Structure 1
Amino acid sequence: MTSILSFLCVLSSIFLVVSADFVVVEHLDQPPYGWTKLGAANSSQLIRLSIALESQGRDVFERTLQEVSDPTHARYGQYLSRDEAVALVRPRSRSVAAVRKWLLSENVTQDQVQERGLFVDAVMTIGTAENLLSTTYGVFQHDKQRAIGALALIEVQADISVSDPLAEP
């Protein structure tokens, strides 16, 4: 169940805003095929919200991969270390700062926020996530796996102040 919750929370957090106010960017009239809504989510339950940020060097990263993999190129075989690869694709520091500021403005504390490559993770209650995204979480169960309940969003909204740093879905 934890992996399903994490997966759905990641999916719930990568949407863009297109206007100056809170705007609905995703809405489900009914659960996806095979899922049944059991009820509202417990607003005091803790979840980890993973916010995907846009990479600043994706083009350079792709070009570098092509060059080091091409036997006819001068850089062939000069593979990147993990740290070098991460440095090429990390998000802009201003993007990370904007998301941190947004989270802190919604009473998510510094110790609940962690940077993880292209993601900023934040541990919070479902109630806080609902306020942050102007959304509603529900508990759903898959028809073929009766023992597993999962959280999912009904509707997603976000504040324009963090729209630029977020990755497109």
Structure 2
Amino acid sequence: MKIFLAGIMQGSYREMELHPQEYRLRLTEMLEKYIPGVEVYDPFRNHENSIHYSYEKGKSVFLGHNYLCREMDVVLAFVPEASMGTAIEMWEGNQNGAIVVTVTPLKTNWAVKFLSHHLYDSLTELESELESGKFLERMEEIRQNLSKMRENG
């Protein structure tokens, strides 16, 4: 299973700063612990200094990561507050057959609500489902439903 870690980086900051990114390590550790053979792609890894990239390099990395969401089995989004970049990653995954799973309190936000196949309230809730095996069951159920929808046009 290939999982893209989408999540808030700059958010609504107007200055060159980032939201704390510790959630990425926690998510990666959880996924690797409970999903055998999982491949986790974290767009922040190897790009920790990305807010200081040149225009050309920044654009290339940004668009490349968005396109990568098209190739994933799952886009796992962490959205504690509105995040334009994460919304684009969710869109790319959703429109190209990936399952979009979102950890967020923003359950009424249209981008979150309509692009996600499943919502979690917290990282703790997600970890509980990973540990119990329910997460993998849910992913298979969603995958089957998406496959049926594509077959039926």
TM range (shorter): under 0.3
Tell me which protein shows more strand as a share of its residues.
Answer: 1
TM-score, normalization by structure 1 = 0.23
More relative contact order in 1 or in 2 (CA 8 Å, sep 6+)? 1
TM-score, normalization by structure 2 = 0.25
